[in-house]
Structure 1
Amino acid sequence: MQIDALSVPGHETVLRVADAASGLTGFIALHSTARGPAAGGLRMRRYADEGAALADVLALSRGMTLKTAAADLPLGGGKAVIMGDPARKTEAQLRAMGRAIETLGGRYWTAEDMGMSPADMAILRQETEFVAGLPDGPFASGDPSPRTARGVFYAMRVAAERALGSRVLTGQRVALQGLGHVGWHLAKLVRAAGADLVVADADPARAAQAAQTFGAEVVAPDDILSVSADILAPCAIGGVLTPEAARTLDVAVVCGAANNQLASDAAGDALHARGILYVPDYVANGGGIVNVAAEILRIPDRAHFVTEKLAALEAMTGRILARAAAEDVGPHRVADRIVSARLPLEGAAA
């Protein structure tokens, strides 16, 4: 196996990992360990090339620094990615990535992310102790997706109360992009709350299953951002909210589980200029890292810990939206200022 350190401004450590025997090519990025060891999941995707994979892991690791700080966890931000089709992943690839993570000596803890499962984490655990999201064990937290979805659901209700006049979602139309682990759980919560669902997913079978299970309307993936709805919930890949998309959305609220939803701060400003209320993703989707953190930190009563942290993030969402309204700026601007004040290396006055 070959591990090469890359010099990337703004990141503490970035590694390119290649293992010819297993066919593994991937990256590990540690954005910050200022608050504690970097934490963030391992994802597997079919990237166009190594440049796309590197760009993704860099953006995701920075987002994890913001997310752990928003949740006030004694952790930093990191991420790892494997290039390839997750349906064709092998144990050899996972074990090779586990060995690469082990070389960091605990500066980075990984867990389940897109294209991964608790069973995959158990395979990595055979090569490194710095794995969370395990399916069993004294502090095992398992699949973080249900807690991520619940946190997004709580944030969605807060935003709905401010933008639509009520936190009750009954009768509201929610356009949900992406029916992966988190998206599916969010769809379940939103439908149980009485909302009408419009969904899109790259897998037609998954979308059809949502139509049958939730009575959802299905549209093509390319059409979901054009749907007229009360709430848009991006739950797939990041960067979908470009300035151009922001100028054409027909929704009142954007609140979803995807990381790095804004392609740029300009996109967030464009949403604000149009009166569309955007809930900063790293605040809304913090439930997953909170769940994983309970395992990393060996918290005895994980359920109580997660419940308290989710409540704190819900309250934080309300404060951010209220302050953004008072200052007439996008919530993303307010969230960045508040969270950066919690980062020793980036501290700015909130």
Structure 2
Amino acid sequence: MRAVWLREFGGPERLLAAETPDPSAGPGQVVVAVEFANVTFVETQLRAGTGPFPVRLPTIPGNGVGGVVAEVGPEVDPALRGRRVVTSTGGAGGYADRVAVDADGLVAVPDELPMESAVALLADGRTALLLLETAGVHPGERILVEAAAGGVGSLLVQLAGAAGATVVAVAGGDRKVALARDLGADLAVDYSTADWPARVRAGVGGIDVVFDGVGGTVGRSAFDLLDRGGRMVSFGLSSGSWTQVPDEVARERGVTVVRSLTRSPEQLRELTRRALAEAAAGRLRPVIGQRFPLDRAADAHAAIQSRRTVGKTLLDAGRPTGTRPDR
């Protein structure tokens, strides 16, 4: 099979494609013939050696894939062979055209949903639903979504709007602001401008809920916009650092800050099923901004690091090297 290896930490050029022995399905496992693999910002950090958890080298990166079950191992229902599925890989192995995974982790893809949309929703869909559930969004509340043109943010804009909230989208650059507006944001502002918090206040007043996917100074400015009784749910640090809000400051402001989102594996799979069902019914649209051939995983990482990507970035395991990426 073809796989992308990381043998040394460093820049995107450290990701190198190579022919690799095919995996086999052990007890309780299946082999998935991969059509698309998910690429995340955290994976760019892990590749650089600066991620939130340790990585043992050499490794094939990638924690989310979608495709067709090609092989079933012992103790697995043979009827799974040929099923369209998405699944997490357990942290590694996704940047390849075949991967062995636990059968218990498979999530069936509805027939009417394209595989690329299902992979785009595998992690981001369940995260967005979990964030909305954790924050307890109510109709009429003012919701601020950071990184609103990203994979999770673009879904939060749609879900919060569908919940009856007034949605304030915060994103970097005109292209991303325009996308957030197209997704239904009531107000969209560019956080690369110094006066963006004042523009939010002028537009909607205070904020009831902040979904903090950026961290750093952007996250802190968003926190300062919260009214008493507001909630901030921190789930990302695309700025490179978490939002720093001392507990005593949050208490004085009467604001709840949530920094940990924990659910069981089965609960996470159920959230994924819900996200896929919403998309299949046409009520949720994942934004796939970029697709790269598997062999060009390095280009996918470079694009994410450059901050020029929108929505989700995918690796196409069936696309030949040399074809142009989607823009």
- Using the size of structure 1 for normalisation, the TM-score is 0.43
Q: Where is the strand percentage greater, Structure 1 or Structure 2?
A: 2
Whose helix proportion is higher, 1 or 2? 1
